[in-house]
Amino acid sequence: MKIVVLDWKTMTMNDDISPSVLEQFGDVKLFSLTKPEDAAENIGDADAVLCNKVPITREVIDKCPNLRYIGLFATGYNNVDIDYAADRGITICNAGQYSTNAVAQQVFAYILDHSNRINAYNSAVSQGEWERSEIFSYFPVPTCELAGKTLSIVGFGSIGRAVAKIGEAFGMNIIVSTRTAPKDCPYRVTDIRTAAENADILTFHCPLTEQTKGLVNSDLLSVMKPGAVLVNTSRGPVVVENDLADALNSGKIAAAYLDVLEQEPMSPETPLKTAKNCVITPHTAWAALETRERLLGIVCDNLRAWLAGSPQNKVN
């Protein structure tokens, strides 16, 4: 079997993960990165393609008549025309839940950064402000306890549940907003507007769909508390960037922490680049070494299951 990997560079940092494990399944052709216009040529006559973000469109599929399997180094699959692939009998398998721990951890890194202001105080100490203090404790920057604060979680898959569990350990009040009412949920479940109105922290863990695209807009932001913080580690287009920048610059909400943007790599034109109290990380929540090793393992398991005739984690 011929296997093509289109964007291996998205999986490794300084070659800290080896692709050699894939060789057990057949002949592997590895591309560091693939431009969208080169996808069909690079896939060629391969039986299976593995990729992260390269678009696999109808046009690409039509030019690759041997293609029978698409394996994703990702949970999201909006880069693949899944309906057309299904019509052509092509199986698509994603890698769900590989990043649960890492993303939940980063969400609370953001929350703790805002509540404890570690970076602000470290900077103050470095600049000699504590040395000049009249008292033993120097605390001009407000901090707060998380206990008793309301954490509103939009999307209640594996990551949303993990975030809720950590928030509960901090003594936070948990509110959940999700398209499908979860069974045996120990938390208050409500609509998105009510979740936003009550949130001290509003965090997004929903997939990108027609319903969630632009979900964070001026209307939703208008009902949030002035001291509220918005966190997005889901998908960039969930947020209308101009609306969020306006809310931050006007003081409508206190801060935003974002690991995803509408355009990635980030466009220099995004209004969030210069928005007040907006912290942006370059899509790193999933990128811990252990997380990427787990992801590769799931991709291999998916491929093995498909070859055995019992595909798992199918999205089409």
Residue 281, both tokens: 């990380």
DSSP letters of 80-142? B-HHHHHHTT-EEE--TTTTHHHHHHHHHHHHHHHHH-HHHHHHHHHTTTTTT-SSS----S-
Continuous segment of H or E residues that includes residue 152: strand 150-154
Residues that are catalytic: 235, 264, 283
Tally of residues, the chain = 316
Residue 16, both tokens: 């800290």
Q: Are 111 and 231 in contact (CB under 8 A)?
A: yes
Distance CA 307, CA 47 (A): 11
Continuous segment of H or E residues that includes residue 197: helix 192-198
What phi and psi, each to the nearest 5 degrees, are found at residue 118? -60, -45
Distance CA 316, CA 304 (A): 18
Distance CA 127, CA 129 (A): 6
Q: Cis bond leading into 265, ω under 30°? A: yes
